[in-house]
Structure 1
Amino acid sequence: MPSLGSFVLTCIIIAISLVLSVSASVGNIKSGPSPRRFMSGSQRHNATFSLTQIRNTKWEPREMSTTAVYAAEFLKHKVQMPKVLRLAWEKLKLHDDQSSNSSIHRRVDGQLVRYSDGQYVFPVTIGTPKQTLNLIFDTASGDFWVWSWLMPMDMLQNRKYYNGSASSDATPWDGQSWGATYAVGSNYGIVWQDIVWIDAIGVAGNPIECSQGVSNWFASLPGVDGVLGLSYAYNDSEKPEPQQTWITYILPLLAAPVFTVSLVHNGIGTIDFGFIDQKKYTGSIVYTPITIIPGGGAFWAFNWTGFAIGSDKYNRTNIQVMTDTGGNISMMPESIANRYYKLVAGSYKQANGAWIFPCKASLPNFVFGVGSSRIVVAGKNFILTNLPDGINCIGGIQSREEDTYVFLSIPFMQSIFVVHDYGKMRMGFANRTWV
């Protein structure tokens, strides 16, 4: 069964990320924020390190509707859905609101898909003594949230979670809360500060968003203990004081102010900090400036200079693009998505607008331009997962309105090498040998 494996950093999970900030109760907490500082045991200068994903040993495939799959990126980034999807989504939510039975949420559009969210994660250590959690790293989010001891105990059975009360270095942050509304519920809580160790760098006083409640979707995702956002500035849901991201804080310690992403289709990927590994790409890296998405926060975005589908003619078109390691569907303007599936035999649209095709169909490669260079993405990556009939699959490329920017998510990332360069505020792209 085709699926999106690597770095599926909760596909829908983060794929349906921050849509609305909500406030949470802070109880009787009376402490204020403490300053962040590097631990004495940290690698203090010219640091370089590589993080390798680990397989989530508690992972199991989950079922959800194609409507929720398609709606994920729209909800995550607060952008308007196509009309047919919006109507299907409203119908789906109505059924979900009228029943506590989550299977109704999955069945209402008549199409169940089995999803591989959370199959690969990164270990992160918090507190004194150290508590190790397995997190999803998401470049299209600034939030750092975890399952916590503040949640109802019945939800914590057989789960790993952060316990701030058990850490001698943890302090609560008076009045600071966080919250996010997802497609299938809300996550919310309060903020504590504690030591966070990633590889050989320890940051004391790092804000940690501690969950007091999570949606049913997250509750049904075993082995994923939270999310670490890697956006490049203040891009999180904390109130009343948004915080800089973990990555921006450790930049002074890195040998170079960069990190790179190298994901693998149905396999284990890596994120490298402070250096660029020349063994992980072919040819040369081509760079382009970061662009700002109006109202979109500090996301990693750029302008591509054109595209081609399969062996078709290259189209010179300047379009803004946002990259996202936390989403499983890449969104294209409708004309581009239509052009892509015109080349896929047997493809069709569901009533909700989602593109479907025979799983055995040959999918064309997708080429996009960065400057005068061409970056090639393997067509096989756009087989997201199969439908219940075992014959048809939902596509990893879906459509959105014309004259809007593009989302390049995991299906694209699994074919290419991506550099996130803070020092020069640019992104770099290179081709890779496909696995």
Structure 2
Amino acid sequence: MDCQPHRSCNQAETSLIVMRSFSAFLFAVLIAASRSTSWASVTIPLRKLEFTGSYLQGSPHADRARAASFLETTSGPETIPATSMGYQYTVRVGVGSPATYYDLLVDTGSSNTFVGTGKKYVRTSTSVPTGQNVTVTYGTGTGFFSGIEYNDTVTLAPGFAIKNQSIGDALNSSTFEGVDGLIGLGPADLTEHTLTPDTGLIPTVMDNALKQGLIKNQIFGISFAPAPTLPDTNGVITYGGIDPAWYIGDITYTPITKTSQSSGYWGINVTQATYGAHTVIPQSTAGIVDSGTNLVRLADDFFSRYLEAIPGAYVDVNKTGLIVIPLISVGTMQPLNFTINGRVFTMDAAAQLLPMREHLNPGGARYGVINKAGANSGSGFDFILGLKFMERYYVVFDADNSRVGFAYTNHTFTRNTPVAERELRITGE
């Protein structure tokens, strides 16, 4: 594929340009390469899916018993309980009338919404075919879905039903095992050329929620969190606003970058990154914030600086493509600090490591979550702050003001308690 704003152009193992990304696909690539009601905010839960065996290869399974409790109306912001079962995040979405509920991967790096990869699309009186086929490829093209486009009622929360939302019925797909589809929360430009006949861009769920008066502002906030035990109720997404219950202190906003290709996504500039006393990113550079990417990915030259700063660390080229950190070095690991609009956002040592339950038997070592990109800096996609970064922060995606916001949370640092004063000093507050 070429490097148009909606496509990828890097090799599978180290693809940094995740144009239409989702988490399950990226980890499958690693394995393959190694070998509101009106004028209100509505808070929706996220659900994590468990990958049995190795999470890099397994199939996620979600408890779906909650759908019957959805109501018809709500009078304001509403939080619905969700269950974390392992690694990927999904949100429960209803389609049709009466609604059939699907567990859809939450992806801020793509914009098409579709169902049918697990539970099949159930057509009702509100299901109207558009007369178009839909095809979307992810990453380097080994992940895809294709099918028929419909307009239908899409229910994101009680009383939050979007009418005539364009969605895909996935008749053919790959690498979506264990989930029912995907909800795309990226900019609408990412839907370009996905329909045949091509009638232009597809309004996203956020576009239509705003147009139909379900939200006053085209903003959504996400809280992810590490899951120390399973199951765990720990994630939310807020459509139309932000929820102060899920973050600590102020939100630091930074504008959408003007650097192509990142500017076509939720792209931002990081002005510097350091690992302990080592400089990893020496100057302002552009990348994206993407819930559909599991790892934190750095341009190859930046990643090399990070790798060299950890004694004995190497890349497991023959098995997973992940960084391997000897146990002797784990105890001396330093914070990885990203400076965004003058504020430092830290990944402490534990945040840089995969939990032991998610390991692929590396022996006397630990796998890390920082990975290379497959291209040196200067491509316009010099980093991806993926799921493992987002688990540590509250992230606000503000289309109205063309900006992304970050705030500290109770789970920014490893222990599951409020951030201590000594740790807050890192932020300069």
Q: Tell me the TM-score normalised to structure 2 length.
A: 0.70
User: Please, which of 286, 289, 304 is the counterpart of residue 320 of structure 1?
Assistant: 286
**Counterpart of 2:334 in structure 1: which amino acid?**
P
Query: 1:258-279: per-residue Cα shift (whole Å, max 9, x none)?
Result: 1111110125211112232223
Q: What are structure 1's unaligned runs of at least 5 residues?
A: 1-8, 18-41, 66-115, 149-158
Query: 1:382-425: per-residue Cα shift (whole Å, max 9, x none)?
Result: 22342334433432111232223211101111111211111111
* Cross-structure match for 1:258: 219
Distance in 2 separating the partners of 1:243 and 1:169: 18
| Aligned CA distance change for structure 1 residues 311 and 279 (closer, same or farther; 3 Å) | farther
Identical residues among aligned pairs (%): 23
**Counterpart of 2:377 in structure 1: which amino acid?**
D
Query: 1:306-342: per-residue Cα shift (whole Å, max 9, x none)?
Result: 1221355696510112010011122112233223233
| Aligned CA distance change for structure 1 residues 428 and 46 (closer, same or farther; 3 Å) | same
* Cross-structure match for 2:68: none
Partners of 1:343 and 1:364 within 8 A in 2? no
Q: Secondary structure at the match of 1:169?
A: coil
Aligned-pair Cα RMSD in Å = 2.9
* Cross-structure match for 2:6: none
Q: Tell me the TM-score normalised to structure 1 length.
A: 0.69
* Cross-structure match for 1:101: none
More moved, 181-190 vs 132-141: 181-190
Query: Does residue 60 of the first structure (1) align with residue 52 of the second (2)?
Result: yes
| Aligned CA distance change for structure 1 residues 314 and 192 (closer, same or farther; 3 Å) | closer
User: Please, which of 387, 392, 397 is the counterpart of residue 365 of structure 2?
Assistant: 392
| Aligned CA distance change for structure 1 residues 297 and 244 (closer, same or farther; 3 Å) | farther
Distance in 2 separating the partners of 1:54 and 1:399: 28
* Cross-structure match for 2:338: 368
* Cross-structure match for 1:189: 147
Q: Secondary structure at the match of 2:186?
A: coil
| Aligned CA distance change for structure 1 residues 408 and 63 (closer, same or farther; 3 Å) | closer
Query: Does residue 227 of the first structure (1) align with residue 182 of the second (2)?
Result: yes
Query: Does residue 246 of the first structure (1) align with residue 185 of the second (2)?
Result: no
* Residue 16 of structure 1: how far off its partner (Å): 7.1
* Residue 186 of structure 1: how far off its partner (Å): 3.7
User: Please, which of 320, 342, 355 is the counterpart of residue 323 of structure 2?
Assistant: 355
* Cross-structure match for 2:171: 212
Alignment of 1:13-412 (within 5 A): 13=25, 43=37, 45-56=38-49, 60-62=52-54, 64=56, 119-147=88-116, 160-164=119-123, 167-180=124-137, 184=142, 186-199=144-157, 200-215=159-174, 217-218=175-176, 221-222=177-178, 224-236=179-191, 237-239=194-196, 240-241=198-199, 242-251=201-210, 252-266=213-227, 268-295=234-261, 298-310=264-276, 312=278, 317-351=283-317, 354-358=322-326, 361-362=330-331, 363-384=333-354, 385-400=358-373, 401-404=375-378, 405-412=382-389
User: Please, which of 399, 403, 422 is the counterpart of residue 422 of structure 1?
Assistant: 399
| Aligned CA distance change for structure 1 residues 63 and 197 (closer, same or farther; 3 Å) | closer
Partners of 2:116 and 2:169 within 8 A in 1? yes
Partners of 2:113 and 2:184 within 8 A in 1? yes
Choose between structure 1 and 2 for higher RCO, CA contacts under 8 A separated by at least 6 residues: 1
Partners of 1:133 and 1:162 within 8 A in 2? no
* Residue 47 of structure 1: how far off its partner (Å): 1.7
**Counterpart of 1:161 in structure 2: which amino acid?**
K
* Residue 295 of structure 1: how far off its partner (Å): 4.5
Distance in 2 separating the partners of 1:117 and 1:214: 23
Partners of 1:280 and 1:417 within 8 A in 2? yes
| Aligned CA distance change for structure 1 residues 161 and 253 (closer, same or farther; 3 Å) | same
Q: How many residues align?
A: 335
Distance in 2 separating the partners of 1:345 and 1:427: 34
| Aligned CA distance change for structure 1 residues 291 and 146 (closer, same or farther; 3 Å) | same
| Aligned CA distance change for structure 1 residues 416 and 63 (closer, same or farther; 3 Å) | closer
* Residue 160 of structure 1: how far off its partner (Å): 2.3
Q: Secondary structure at the match of 1:253?
A: coil
**Counterpart of 1:12 in structure 2: which amino acid?**
A
Q: What are structure 2's unaligned runs of at least 5 residues?
A: 1-20, 30-35, 58-84, 417-429
**Counterpart of 1:179 in structure 2: which amino acid?**
V
Q: Secondary structure at the match of 1:53?
A: strand
